[in-house]
Amino acid sequence: MSVYDGRQLQVLPLDPQNSNPNVLRTALYITNSQNVLIGRGAVDQYYEHNIGRPVKLQRVWVGEIEVVADEMRYIQDAYVWTDVLSPGRLLLSIKTSLRDPDYVGTVIGPYHYSLENLIATYLHLAKIRAERLLDRELTSIVMGRPVRFAFDPQHDRLAQSRLLEAALRAGYEQVYFQYEPVAAAYHYAVNLEEAQNILVFDFGGGTLDVTVMRAETTGRREVLATGGIPVAGDVFDEKLIRAKLPEHFGAGGTYGSASKPLPVPLWIYDTFANWQTIVELQTPQNREMLQTIAATARRPKEIEALISLVTSNYGLKMFDAVELTKRTLSERVGGMIKLQGPGFNIHQLVTRSEFEQIIQNEVDAINTHLDEIVS
């Protein structure tokens, strides 16, 4: 978050616990008793509360939904899977849920939180931190938004309307929106000494946003093109996990009778590679399935390691370890994914050339989109 007084732009160190205090990670941890933390503190508290504890999922009724199909209309009970032993819930990259009309909120402990209230909670706590640093109240905000929350225009409008509602609930009286790469281009052009065409490549966690802008020394600014696709850092992490870690957790193995062995299902590792879906492996049905596979697997220790990772809440540790390796590959020709927990101790080498091959389809999509924007 930054403040502008008409002369200078000041970046606020909202997260002193973070390695870069000027970056407040989009992480929200809410306990069952409604204690709330954001940023680095949210992740640290999640680790402290959850690593190594048992998991028990149950279906919990959260209300009713109206279902409309053709000319039929009826009411249906809505249930969600909830970890009844969890002391709280960690939410990451929650902004990506804004475009999903089916995601209306979640249950944490005995309470249901709407998506708008979850984001409002994060924005409100960030606002409080900023006000303490500035020693004054903040009533207006310019919020950055992706060029495209979604390809579907209706979902894109839904996302911005939800974000607006969250900002108003957070305590802001005036809310303005600007495309994130456009804002970056304006910032770059402040001290311009000659006219330039500027290309901004904003590669975030959930989206890639691109802007082409013409900036004159007279102060005239013209946005020539904008674009964006939902391919970014989180997708790269998922691809790296899917390519390099499943072999340590039983992928490629078989189970069942010796005369008719069955392959370990691949969908397990697709689910395992996504932070939003790995929790599905904790459901009673899926845990029973994994136990059944482990009982007759040719490589039982690896399936047991998968069960241990899932049921002991080491998923986020895995994603953090992979992200660290990804960053290392930006500076070095190789990196090591290191992940240790009950029943597993992984040291997986990844070379930069391997990583480039793993994400080749995504890089091609990015290059194609860039060509479309600048043409």
| 156-168 tens-digit pLDDT | 999 999 999 999 9
In angstroms, the CA 137 to CA 161 distance is 24
Residue ranges per structural domain of the chain: 2-172, 188-230, 233-360
**Percent of residues, the chain, with pLDDT higher than 90:** 66
pLDDT score, position 230: 83
- Mean pLDDT calculated for residue range 112-120: 95
- Contact in structure between 307 and 297 (CB atoms under 8 Å): no
Count of C-beta atoms within a 10 Å radius of residue 75: 9
Token readout for 5 is: 């007084």
- Does 2-172 carry CATH code 3.30.420? yes
Query: Hey, do 2-172 and 188-230 end up sharing a CATH topology, with the first three levels equal?
Result: yes
| 306 to 100, 278, 285: CA distances (angstroms) | 30, 11, 15
pLDDT score, position 62: 67
In angstroms, the CA 371 to CA 363 distance is 12
Q: Which of 55-59, 103-107, 162-166, 310-314 shows the lowest per-residue confidence on average (mean pLDDT)?
A: 55-59
- Contact in structure between 38 and 125 (CB atoms under 8 Å): yes
Q: If you average pLDDT over every residue of the chain, what do you get?
A: 91
In angstroms, the CA 142 to CA 156 distance is 18
pLDDT of 70 above 80: no
What is the β-pairing status of strands 140-145 and 174-179?
parallel
pLDDT score, position 107: 82
CATH fold of the domain at 188-230: Nucleotidyltransferase; domain 5 (3.30.420)
Q: Which of 56-65, 113-122, 181-190, 221-230 shows the lowest per-residue confidence on average (mean pLDDT)?
A: 56-65
Q: 148 pLDDT band (50/70/90 cuts)? A: confident
pLDDT of 235 above 90: yes
Task: Specify the pTM.
Answer: 0.82
Can you point out the beta strands (E) in 155-266? Answer: 174-179, 196-203, 208-215, 221-229, 254-255, 262-263
Count of C-beta atoms within a 10 Å radius of residue 29: 25
